[in-house]
Each structure stands twice: as structure tokens, then as C-alpha cells.
Amino acid sequence: MPSRRPWKRAAINGRYEANGVTLSLDETVRESDLTDIVAALAEAIGKPAPSSSANGSRTAIPADLQRRSAYLEHPVFTRTTPRRS
């Protein structure tokens, strides 16, 4: 089993198993969080961490596959309603 030390040092919480690590991420994850995760993975297996971006761009998704249209604009996604007590 890879060492848990890199994960603890980076304060990354996960489920550690004999053949891997399970992580849960949500919408608050930042690029720096992903960089920390990749660095901990690399250290755990004794390899250097790759650079944090693809060819210096903000995304590895090819330009012709990137979304250009608006999304999540329906009121169900944007309106706020008072909470009931």
C-alpha cells in the first residue's frame, strides 16, 4: 500500500485502500486543490508530479470541444427562495 504520509501532509482526506485512494470532490474545488492531489499521488508512488496545466492553457479540453453556449440559466438554477421554518 502506498504511504499515507503525502496525503496527511497535504491535508487531503480520503479513503485509503490496498489498491488505491478514493476522494470526493465538489464544486468548491480549485485548481490548486487538484495540483495538491496530483502532487500527493506522485509522491505516494515515488514519481515526479507532472505540470499542473496542459501546454500552459487553463484546460486540457480542445478548443473545438469547449462549451460556447450559456448554461444553467433557467430560473430553477438561479432563483432563490425563502426557507421555511
pLDDT, tens digit (0-9, with 9 covering 90-100), for 59-75? 677 888 888 888 888 88
**Residue-wise pLDDT tens digits, 22-54:** 888 777 888 888 888 888 888 878 888 887 555
Answer yes or no: is 78 within a domain.
no
37: containing domain: 1-54
Is the pLDDT score of 85 beyond 80? no
Count of alpha carbons within 13 angstroms of residue 26, beta-carbon side: 1
Per the structure, how many domains does the chain have?
1
pTM over 0.75: no
Answer yes or no: is 77 within a domain.
no
Answer yes or no: is 81 within a domain.
no
Give the per-residue pLDDT at 4. 65
Answer yes or no: is 68 within a domain.
no
Answer yes or no: is 74 within a domain.
no
Answer yes or no: is 66 within a domain.
no
